[in-house]
Amino acid sequence: MSWPVFWLKDDWRSRLLSPLAALVARVATKRYQRFKQAKLAADASQGLASPVGPLVLVVGNLVVGGSGKTPLISWLIPLLQAQGWRVGVIARGYASATRYQPERVTPNSDPDQVGDEPLMLAQTFDVPIVVCRERAAALAGLLAIEAVDIVISDDGLQHYGLARDLELVVFDASRPNAGIGNGRCLPAGPLREPLGRLQDIDFVLFNRSLSDVLYTPPAWLKGGPSCFNFQLQLGDAYALSKPNQTQKLTDFIGQPVYAVAGMGHPERFFAALTQAGLDIEPRAFSDHHPFTEQDFTCFDPTKPLLMTSKDAVKCQKFARSNWWVCPVEVNMADDFAASLLQAIRQDPRFVR
């Protein structure tokens, strides 16, 4: 979602809402403390016995809005599969019709039923994917259909009904203050939980812009968890109606093109296209917008149109021949993969 101006930097509106933000912070902290105490009690009762079931890795947000979680998950899946581990994914299926009954996502699923990002993953990877608003129910549903070694939870950091083994938090560093804006909790700011929650996080990743040649962790993270950087880079475009037909982004230079994005921070997509030298006419939609053919009736059909991968899965049925998809590639810090794999291999389920 796009942030209101007063989330970016403190002003009278954020200060006016600060009492409500303090209440949200207290409630969020108490919820996490209850979860933490229950986890400690469960670990104590288990004693030296090996954990059962798959390792659960949560990839989540501390703030509202997009941060680059799904491209990161697309990077994680082949990394974990390369180690010989069976991987599954659970998600809410944002803006989907799925409520409290787990539903498996297949490449032919309806995006209105399962959500755009889970469908995008299902069309890219041969792994079991289950969506449900209740993450614990999604996990149970996944394990009922296929045995896996590692389950990646797309978001779900604040869903404390879901037991987890590792937590990874992603920030969009292109937003003000390295992704936390004014640093206040909802509704005065973008934080879902206070920054103190990061002290128990295993890894923090900053999705920084390509223009950030040198990037250092922000002051508010000093003394916190392991911190790494990555960047999202646009790859060659492919035709939505003919995915085998590809074209370099530079081929679009010198002609006006539409740029369509229904995501949490569409300006980032537009900036990447502009940085690539394209003359774009940006059209931003709400995050997870349910695209229909009527959304494009006012577009000049002779102009090429570029869109994101997650928007493309909702436009396949009515795509025109000059609509192109811009997939992203993750440029990850070299040492993160080694650190994550080391943390996983320290778990008793993976000790050889």
The yes-or-no verdict on residue 6 having pLDDT over 90 is yes
> Which pairs with CB-CB distance under 8 Å and at least 24 residues apart come from 343-351?
343/166, 343/202, 343/203, 344/55, 344/57, 344/80, 344/150, 344/166, 347/51, 347/55, 347/165, 348/50, 348/51, 349/50, 349/51, 349/54, 349/55, 349/149, 350/55, 350/149
The yes-or-no verdict on residue 215 having pLDDT over 90 is no
> Which residues line the annotated binding site?
63-70
How many domains is the chain partitioned into structurally?
2
- Could you tell me if 167 and 220 lie in one domain? yes
Residue 211's pLDDT is what? Answer: 63
Q: What is the SS3 assignment for 169?
A: strand
Q: Which domain holds residue 246?
A: 236-326
Using one digit for the tens of pLDDT, what is the confidence trace for 109-156?
999 899 999 999 999 999 999 999 999 999 999 999 999 999 999 999
The yes-or-no verdict on residue 213 having pLDDT over 60 is no
- Could you tell me if 73 and 156 lie in one domain? yes
| Domain-located, residue 110 | no
> Which residues line the annotated binding site for ATP?
63-70
Under 8 Å between Cβ of 53 and 147: no
- Could you tell me if 337 and 311 lie in one domain? no
- Amino acid in position 8: L
- Give dist(CA 88, CA 139) in Å, integer: 9
Q: Tell me what the mean pLDDT of segment 38-56 comes to.
A: 84
Half-sphere exposure of 281 (CA within 13 A, CB side): 11
Average pLDDT, rounded, for the chain: 93
- Could you tell me if 339 and 213 lie in one domain? yes
Which two three-digit tokens encode residue 114?
A: 């399962």
**Helical H runs in the chain?**
5-8, 12-16, 18-46, 69-81, 111-114, 116-122, 135-145, 176-179, 266-275, 309-312, 334-345
- Could you tell me if 32 and 56 lie in one domain? yes
- Could you tell me if 53 and 70 lie in one domain? yes
- Give dist(CA 158, CA 12) in Å, integer: 29
- Give dist(CA 172, CA 218) in Å, integer: 12
Q: Tell me what the mean pLDDT of segment 261-288 comes to.
A: 92
- Could you tell me if 259 and 203 lie in one domain? no
Location of structure tokens 């590792």:
166
CA 341 to chain centre: 20
Residue 98's pLDDT is what? Answer: 60
- Could you tell me if 346 and 207 lie in one domain? yes
- Could you tell me if 308 and 187 lie in one domain? no
- Could you tell me if 52 and 195 lie in one domain? yes
Residue 333's pLDDT is what? Answer: 87
Phi then psi for 272, rounded to 5 degrees? -65, -40
- How far is the CA of 328 from the CAs of 101, 172, 270, 298, 302, in angstroms? 31, 15, 13, 27, 25
- Could you tell me if 194 and 250 lie in one domain? no
| pLDDT tier, 313 (very low <50, low <70, confident <90, very high otherwise) | very high
